[in-house]
Amino acid sequence: MCVKQDDQMQSSTAVVNSTSRARVLAVFLPACGFTALMILLVLAFAWTLSKPGTGFFGSYLVLGSVLLVPASLIAVVVFGLALPRGNRLLGVAPIVVAIGAMSLWAVTWVTQWPLDVRFAASESDFQAVVEQIDPAALQHLVADGWGDPVAVPRRIGTYEISNASVVHGGVIFYEAHGNFFDDAGFAYLPQGPTDDLANGGFESPQWRHLRGPWCSWTASW
């Protein structure tokens, strides 16, 4: 009789343990899934911001990250706190990683550091292209300070370049993916950008200094 009761108790304990493990996995695995989603979103976001413009697809990615990264952090915290009391330490790891991913996303948004880092790795290649441009091209500028397009490699450093033009005081490079429906790229301007560079095909340029004589830009056309 005692043996039978012991077997029943062991069976009940096994069922409880199995149910508890199932509950832990049902909460812990989604928390890890949302954490992984956050990491992927932050990495994709950083790659998008490593370009002078966001491009068509990148614009939707930026918008998606603004909505999904905070939502994913909330989901991770909720799932982490939903773990059974004795297993809540398991929820600490995804919560800490998720908070770290959220912090990196915020710093990336504010500082735009991916663009600085990626361009720094490509600066020497851009500089080499500038040095190979025929100085005579600078003598054929029209009244608005723009000259003829100049031949440049399709890929300079890690960037894809569609075309380039000599302008008063430097060279304007067009990055192939642009900025949504507008243009974007880099500029070699040792004297800095000037208002007279704006024209009908280069409207309302927005400049961001990168390093030395280099800027990134976005402009309407």
Mean pLDDT of 171-195: 89
**Is 123 in the same domain as 74?**
no
Residue 102 near residue 69, CB atoms below 8 Å: yes
Q: Which of 53, 79, 111 is the last residue of a domain?
A: 111
DSSP string covering 166-218: EETTEEEEEETT-BTTBEEEEEE-TT---GGG-BTTBEEEEEEEEETTEEEEE
pLDDT confidence of residue 215: 96
Confidence of residue 8 (pLDDT cuts 50, 70, 90): very low
Number of folded domains in the chain?
2
217 strand-pairing partners: 185, 207
In this predicted model, which residue has the larger pLDDT, 72 or 156? 156
Question: Mean of the pLDDT values across residues 53-65?
Answer: 71
Can you tell me the mean pLDDT for 9-26?
52
Which of 111, 134, 154 corresponds to the end of one domain? 111
Average pLDDT, integer, range 214-220: 93
Residues 98 and 148 both lie in one domain: no
Q: Domain of residue 69: give its range.
A: 2-111
- Residues 139, 199: one domain? yes
* 99 and 153, same domain (yes or no): no
Report whether pLDDT(176) > 60.
yes
Task: Say whether both 185 and 198 belong to one domain.
Answer: yes
Phi/psi for 48 (5° steps) reads -60, -40
Last residue of a domain, one of 111, 131, 159: 111
Q: Quick check: 218 and 121 in contact, CB under 8 A? A: no
Cβ atoms < 10 Å from Cβ of 209:
13
178 backbone φψ class: left, alpha, beta (φ>0; ψ -120 to 50): left
Share of the chain above pLDDT 90, in %: 29
Question: Mapping DSSP to helix (H, G, I), strand (E, B) and coil, where does residue 49 land?
Answer: coil
Question: Residue 166: is its pLDDT beyond 70?
Answer: yes
Q: What is the pLDDT of residue 152?
A: 93
Q: What is the mean pLDDT of the chain?
A: 79
Cα-Cα-Cα-Cα dihedral sign, residues 197, 200, 203, 208: negative
Q: What pTM did the predictor assign?
A: 0.76
Is the pLDDT score of 163 beyond 50? yes
Are both 92 and 67 inside the same structural domain? yes
Do 85 and 173 fall within a single domain?
no
Is the predicted pLDDT of residue 30 greater than 90, yes or no? no
Q: Is residue 36 located within the same domain as residue 104? A: yes
Q: Are 9 and 92 found together in one domain?
A: yes
Statement to judge: residues 10 and 106 lie in one domain: yes
